[in-house]
Structure 1
Amino acid sequence: MPELHSIVQGQGPVIVLSHALGCDLHMWDEVTALLQDRYTVVRYDQRGHGRSPASGADFNMHDLAADAAELIARLGRGPVHFAGVSMGGMTAQALAALHPDTVRSITIANSAAHYDAAARQGWSTRIETVAAQGVAAIADGALQRWLSPDFLARNPQRVAQMREALVRIPAKPYAQACAAVGGIELHLTNPSIRCPALVIGGTLDAATPMALSQQIADGIAGAELATIEAAHISCVEQPEAFAQLLDGFIQRV
């Protein structure tokens, strides 16, 4: 896999931030601004997203974890604190299970460890839609899942920026990422995770409801569970609350 695009800012202990499906590293702009005075904050674009190259072959969550492990090795600053939202939170789970030496702690926000048959069917439908009509066809629905109606109404500029990042992704890499997310079986490997883990669930999150965060927390020994009053992309909707949870957890670790 070619090198992933990343940005490093700040100074202090290293935090690597991993974005959601259909987003890019700018999803973390507000959180980075709040943390960079105390931490070295590393943001990166997942394969096929933002400025990172796409993968010719299909891939799964283990491959996204290997990408993250390679990035951490290249930084030469591991083990790191690793935090991810949605697909980034799935990457965190796979990374901690498969590459335990790379992480000091993981934070898993607005994510899942496993999907039931109905949810998997939803992913298949989305892949078919994107293959036939392109990513723009699912963009408005995605934004409504990502963010609460209140945030959408009050932050048109930020919403437009996120929509632009989404529709720039070519159909094939987006569909490949959907397949990687929809096919997760992280509940099988999560019991092997030994590092400290924080799980954050959004109380307004319809895409990955609180019950899915509870399942992740139940599957990782000693995991902490916290809530944030936000929809799916909680770090954009409530950056101060998100940064506070992350900072507090790392201080305890």
Structure 2
Amino acid sequence: MIRPTAETTPAGTSYLATGQGHPVILIHGVGLNKEMWGGQMVGLAPYYSVIAYDMLGHGASPRPAPGTSLGGYADQLLELLDHLQIPQAIVIGFSMGGLVARAFALHHPTRLCGLVVLNSVFNRSAEQRAGVIARTAQAAEHGPDANAEAALSRWFSREYQAANPAQIAAIRQTLASNDPQGYLTTYELFATQDMYRADDLGHIQVPTLIATGELDPGSTPLMARQLAERIPGAQVAVLDEQRHMMPVESPRLVNQVLLDFLAHALTTQNHAKGIVA
């Protein structure tokens, strides 16, 4: 696969696009950028048009204005779809990107035909909420890399860290190089918006997959099941022995789960439109 070249929307959102077919949008997690999706871009591009972009405050995209809501992050995705003249896409969000994907489904329901939430948060316990609020305070005082070592130990297995030191070092550098204000604005949303419009989730009417890793300490299987219970017909996948960064650590495994779901979502859409394959 020829490596795609980053392009920019009129509003400044930086994105990568590759492949052909129905559009699939990838939204990264807080502190990361569109480059985290390399394994998925390779694995999905033979079958789909795959677009990964930098969230507000991350990578080469502009900062969010102070006080920007999750709705503002969803509007960034809307502008990207309008720029690319995509009427409907399947949206895949990882961690913080999962919150953005959920918000997009609620704010712009006619613009997506499938939803995937990977390793994301919902209905944190009091202890979990206290932990993430403490990390937010540390980031506000010491900058984006204040929690890097602890984050990497939560995100990756020890075996993967030991076998891939250069990649782990690159991710650590990505965390450290984030714009402080953009990172903090985004992290505050990540820390506080796990129940964003939770009572409206029943209005999501597209095929939905909620997936996480069996060993993900911050985006637990219980969270995945509770979130799926709120969305009509949502599927749940808990991947054995996987931690938070399973799209990076185990791309083939995650890609197979995604490909199975994407085929289901498009078949469902075609049946709804009366199209017979």
TM-score (normalised: structure 2)? 0.87
CA distance in structure 2 between the aligned counterparts of 1:152 and 1:91, rounded to whole angstroms:
28
Structure 1 residue matching 2:161: 3-state secondary structure: helix
Count of residue pairs brought into register by the alignment: 253
CA distance in structure 1 between the aligned counterparts of 2:75 and 2:125, rounded to whole angstroms:
25
Tell me if the contact between 2:121 and 2:218 (Cα under 8 Å) persists in the aligned partners: no
Whether 1:74 aligns to 2:83 is yes
Unaligned 5+ residue runs, structure 2?
1-9, 266-277
- Opposite residue 138 of structure 1, the aligned amino acid is N
Aligned to 2:167: 158
Tell me if the contact between 1:61 and 1:181 (Cα under 8 Å) persists in the aligned partners: no
Tell me if the contact between 1:60 and 1:179 (Cα under 8 Å) persists in the aligned partners: no
Aligned to 1:93: 102
Counting only pairs closer than 5 Å after superposition, residues 138-217 of structure 1 correspond to structure 2 as: 138-184=147-193, 185-186=195-196, 187-217=198-228
Structure 2 residue matching 1:198: 3-state secondary structure: strand
CA distance in structure 2 between the aligned counterparts of 1:2 and 1:118, rounded to whole angstroms:
39
Within the candidate set 229, 234, 237, 1:226 is matched to 237
Unaligned 5+ residue runs, structure 1?
none
Greater relative CO, 1 or 2 (CA 8 Å, sep 6+): 1
Residue 152 of structure 1 and its aligned partner are, at CA, apart by 1.1
Aligned to 1:20: 29
Tell me if the contact between 2:88 and 2:112 (Cα under 8 Å) persists in the aligned partners: yes
Identity %: 29
Aligned to 2:70: 61
Aligned to 1:252: 264
Structure index of larger Rg: 2
Tell me if the contact between 1:81 and 1:104 (Cα under 8 Å) persists in the aligned partners: yes
CA distance in structure 1 between the aligned counterparts of 2:162 and 2:67, rounded to whole angstroms:
37
Note the aligned Cα RMSD (angstroms). Answer: 1.5
* Post-superposition CA distance 1:142-176 (Å, at most 9, x none): 11111121211111122112111111102222111
Tell me if the contact between 1:12 and 1:39 (Cα under 8 Å) persists in the aligned partners: yes
Aligned to 1:243: 255
- Opposite residue 187 of structure 2, the aligned amino acid is C
